[in-house]
Chains A and B, each alone.
Chain A
């Protein structure tokens, strides 16, 4: 096979170069735009496939470029990067199809798809970052690229949401800059290395290291929507459905969660983080976020808001799995990075279809929608049951490993937490399913009579991702399944 050391760069460029082209296309050139969008997305999936095969064969990709003396822009493709990049590549392709259908007649499509591409480029960059400095560059790019997407509708409400989003994420970015500088000054490097780079520093300067941990996790916690930095997420759901789908499943909250992984595993190292006594508080914070998000979700009538609070809760499973400092829990956390993405993107696309096809935006309007849109609602149902943790769906696998990890780490409270959370998941998801399938549509009002008309570009994507939810859960032990890959990663991070 051909050897291409620049492969990670090419993957980054597929979306980074697509952006200016998409910006420059006139609004009318819809076909060309779609062709570029889908072509680049498909190309990226192919390249990521190639890259993952190479990485699994042990090829090391390491691209560096000095930006300031000693400080490098560094791309590296390790298995953890592959996990995240594969998720984003696949879901970008699916979301692109969905977006084309969703925005077919909307205004500012050139702008939308341009920023959409930039957003994915930033996510890919975050995945491939070989040090915290590079991570910071893409983390900020992600903020800048998503802001125009959040306020895409250009209404006063959208702008308000955008302002809150910008304040939270840029403040978080500034704190991350501070943390990166702190790391640079303290350790003289910002590289991601399994086992961490701070072991020596900790011995001499424990307090500074602890402070650094708080600063870095706090900064990343803003995007990962950890309580108390979660407030922007439910507000940002005014964005168009594909944007919400991408934000919740791959881009923003996942970038935060992924960053937490990198910082705990490869900046501090799990052992060092434990010696500092920082993992237990982080696990507790994640636990609080899990319960808090679920409780808030129960009372939301707006479908997208309910889903948003559910994200607050579900993404913290990842943080929990990292903070438990047990290899088995880590497997659960990493698998959940993928599984939550698949499930949540399904639900947001389904919610978008309900709004587009039936004008249904609230839970209280959902009576009988299952009959009106069976495909969409079937997908939604699968994803919701997965979230609750029903076997053999994807969510079950993650929760199973997290619980096992809790036992391994002698943290029995985790079992209670997971059970409680699953119960809460059921409390806010089952009524939606009940309304959709077992109630008749209201005779007048929004429950639209007859068949709603949505194109295949809207109908197919959620069904596809729902199938993936089923497959990822049922065939969790197959080679190249997310779970298998995460075991590969955990072996590296725990240096076994």
Chain B
């Protein structure tokens, strides 16, 4: 059996071997980590070139082939997600070098790299999988690594949050597995190709519903979001950035994929999904308004934004799904970049001024200007102000909803936007108020190289809006399924 070197294999196995190596050689972990990231990013770039040239590319692993073997497949959307993971992951890793450099963080340093590389393995695996069983395995790899990252700081709050995350994750995995099993018992197949065009019988819908609920638990869709705020708020900043920016996207991606291949069984179910999203937008927004800590506010905003992505999904009903997934995909990319930037910036602010109590942000003479600026830029994208990628995503959402006459989704989006303005302006007021400071305010305090990574991410979130047209045509490569070679 000949093994062909393929960028798809590399982008899954390089991080896996990297994770093992980083675990075995903790002293060289950072070096191994960066080497792995460079190699993986190279593989993703190679894959992107292939996909641009040839459309979607597929690869049967181990020579078995469908319907039972493991196939890898990359199209525009997969590569976009891989690229998001690589770029965000790379910049977060740079930030992690700085934020984990203290002597008391030796333990965190030791575990960060293996866990993060394992996470990368799982995520890349998800984006290249073509069957739901393989997805299940990869999602579990992600879950284990993500819980590890959540509890990295070792604080009690983080451990408790990580444990709750683990419970949610275990239960979500069980539902997913049952769903996978029932799909198999119905259709006798597990690959996407087998799912396309299957008649939506009651039993199949039930199986898919199980899968959906499992994924909703993992992506923290309202009302199954209970575990997320504490987990994302109590992790260390780079871990939060990875969890909020990337990890929840993996489950979202699976939902997107399933919707691409399986026409949604009924309009009512899709409306229900949209309503859950709307609930998340409102509830997440209200909770962010009430949050006392900066990182908790950012975490609640993740809940709201995930809701918005589901609203994008439902924006034009069943008929519109063939377009709606693109709006959702744009919002996923926008949120991934902007939220990672925001969590890193929040971490920087906390490091510089020693706390992240929103009410007291204006009491300190130390103003980490660049980190605050980064936070504001990320907020612009998350609120959806032009020309950011978040704006483009929101524009596509509302455009589709309006054209289809679904004004309620337009209303939800507008309400969510206003809420996000309201909760982020609490933070801005803290950055910009000066009359409560006793000591003289120094000039340009808190400039540091550590701000470079989050600032780059935030600028990307804004600037990619200008490149939305190429991004959009890229993610359409290889869609719909089956057109590809």
Contacts and interface: CB of A to CB of B under 8 A. Distances in A.
B466 A174 contact: no
Interface stretch (A65-73, A78-86, A282-290): A65-73
B317 to A, nearest CB: 16
Contact of A67 (B385, B421, B444, B468): B468
Contact of A73 (B373, B414, B435, B466): B466
A67 B466 contact: yes
Given A26-B444, A154-B432, A156-B435, A137 B386 contact: yes
B211 to A, nearest CB: 32
B206 interface: no
Contacts of A184: 399
B181 interface: no
Given A156-B435, A163-B425, A185-B402, A66 B469 contact: yes
Contacts of B398: 177-178, 181
A69 to B, nearest CB: 7
Given A140-B386, A144-B385, A181-B398, A170 B421 contact: yes
A182 B402 CA distance: 7
Which of A107, A163, A185 is most buried by chain B, counting CB atoms within 10 A of its CB?
A: A185
Contact of A141 (B386, B410, B441, B468): B386
B392 interface: yes
B469 A67 contact: yes
A417 interface: no
Contacts of B435: 154-156
B434 interface: yes
A148 interface: yes
B433 A68 contact: no
B42 interface: no
Contacts of A23: 373
Contact of A151 (B432, B465, B468): B432
A68 B386 contact: no
A27 B469 contact: no
Interface string B408-447: 0010001001100100010011001111000001011000
A42 to B, nearest CB: 28
Interface string B394-408: 011011001100000
Contacts of A430: none
A113 B402 CA distance: 40
A185 B418 contact: no
Given A68-B395, A181-B398, A166 B421 contact: yes
Interface string A7-27: 000000000000000010011
Interface in A60-96: 65-69, 73
Interface residues of A, number: 39
Per DSSP, chain B at the interface is helix
A136 interface: yes
Nearest to B380: A144
B432 A159 contact: yes
A174 B417 contact: yes
B341 to A, nearest CB: 17
A355 interface: no
A67 B392 contact: yes
Interface residues of B, number: 32
Q: Interface SS of chain A: helix, strand, loop or mixed?
A: helix
Contacts of B402: 181-182, 185
A67 B398 CA distance: 16
Contacts of A73: 387, 466
B100 interface: no
A321 B169 CA distance: 64
B21 interface: no
A181 B395 CA distance: 8
Given A27-B443, A69-B469, A148 B432 contact: yes
B414 A68 contact: no
B433 A159 contact: yes
Given A68-B395, A159-B432, A136 B386 contact: yes
A491 interface: no
Interface string B276-301: 00000000000000000000000000
B169 to A, nearest CB: 37
Nearest to B414: A174
B338 to A, nearest CB: 15
Contact of A154 (B387, B396, B421, B434): B434
Interface string A329-362: 0000000000000000000000000000000000
B472 interface: yes
Across the A-B interface, the 4 shortest Cβ-Cβ residue pairs: A154-B434, A27-B443, A137-B386, A155-B435
Interface of A: 23, 26-28, 65-69, 73, 107, 110, 136-137, 140-141, 144, 147-148, 151, 153-156, 159, 162-163, 166-167, 170-171, 173-174, 177-178, 181-182, 184-185
18 contacts: A66-B469, A68-B468, A73-B387, A107-B434, A110-B443, A110-B444, A137-B386, A137-B387, A148-B432, A151-B433, A155-B433, A162-B432, A166-B421, A170-B421, A174-B414, A174-B418, A181-B398, A181-B399
